[in-house]
Structure 1
Amino acid sequence: MEEAPNKLRLYGTEASPFVRRVIWALKLKGVDYDFVQEDLSNKSPALLHYNPIHQKVPVLVHAGKPITESAVILEYIEEAWPDPTPLLPKDPYERAMARFWIAYGDQKHHVFHSFLACSEEGKEKAAKDLLEILKIVQDEALGDHKFFGGDTLSLVDLCYGWLTSLKYVERVVGVQVLEPMTLPRLHRWMQDFKEERVIKENLPDLEAKLPELEILRNHLVSTNN
């Protein structure tokens, strides 16, 4: 599967928050790429070829060389195209802290999944667990800043961009977690994040996907019981 010298191709599904963060990074960098929509119920030979170990999206292929795992892809993008929009701080300590919070969010993503998949009896605990994680993110990572990196977007913001879909998950679960009264600064961050031009122009229409989300939740609940 030989590629042109500088050809860039992204394999993914637009609804995936892990794919979405890569799309945002490429758009912020102004990098041209081709998007290949994958059907995860019938994975393409190309996806299986480029990611034979995990066989999942996203996969970024640059000049025929595949990079997998969204956090790794984001760092690759930052190193390959550092300008004109840096998405990690220059200071080594601040850069390390950014990597820490990216890893923390990814390690705790299962709490979000558990919230989506919780039973009627488990709603209260699932919501409490998610709230605890989000409070840590608000108080320790975001602090009093507009964005996680200060006044401009960083890779950390992109990695917590999945919070833009939380209100839809809250609707199908029937419990509110991220509210102005409980998490005021994180809620304000989410509003500011969604208003950034590149983010706003590349948000999926999750309202239209609510029926699919309800089907997914029902499937997860029945599977867990």
Structure 2
Amino acid sequence: MNPLLEARDLVVRYGTRKVVDRLSLTVGAGEAVGLVGPSGCGKSTTARAVLRLLRPHAGSVRFAGVELTGLPERELRRLRPRFQPVFQDPYEALSPRRRVRDQIAEPLRVHGRWDGTDGPARVEELLELVGLAPVHGERLPHELSGGQCQRVALARALATRPELLVLDEPTSALDPSLRAGILNLLMDLQDTLGVGFLLISHDHAAVRHVCDRVLTMRDGKLLP
């Protein structure tokens, strides 16, 4: 079976330094793959490259058999609902001035999937899916805890029913008591939705708890 996400021989440079050095990885449909390593090893740059938020200097990224590396922006926009990011700091990822329910609805509006009848029901469904109550939808991000905000970020990422989430340190900004809740939620979402994950973290224990496979990165390369 072909992998859902396939990166081959990725190279990303900052100046003359190779931040990602001929890295290859795959994520299968419904699979949770961890990418771990110390700060500065190139994990987050790898996430941005596979999401096509930056162009690698060399190598290939394929999603569902489609080469993303040189794909025109119009065609890339059609694919983006199928693979979604979740970033480290939920407060930075969310607008401080917009209600939670409007931010969860935003991907549906952006990708032309919103309608006045089914849209609000989908937002309610997503709130419930990530363990939040309808009342949380009426609040602004600063009225929620960090853990609740990260649940909102997950709900927004799931709005378009993606096949893959790329999660870049999704628990590192949270207190230890909240991290376990988010990790357990990720496992529940994988079981319930069959969504695949590329989970990037410096926390080996957390990644082993959640993932089917764990890859270790250092100095821009995967360790054998």
Please indicate, yes or no, whether the TM-score normalized by the shorter chain is above 0.5: no
* Between structures 1 and 2, the one with greater strand share: 2
What TM-score, normalized to structure 2? 0.31
Q: Which has the larger radius of gyration?
A: 1
- Which protein is richer in helix relative to its size? 1
Which is bigger in relative contact order (C-alpha 8 A, separation at least 6)?
A: 2
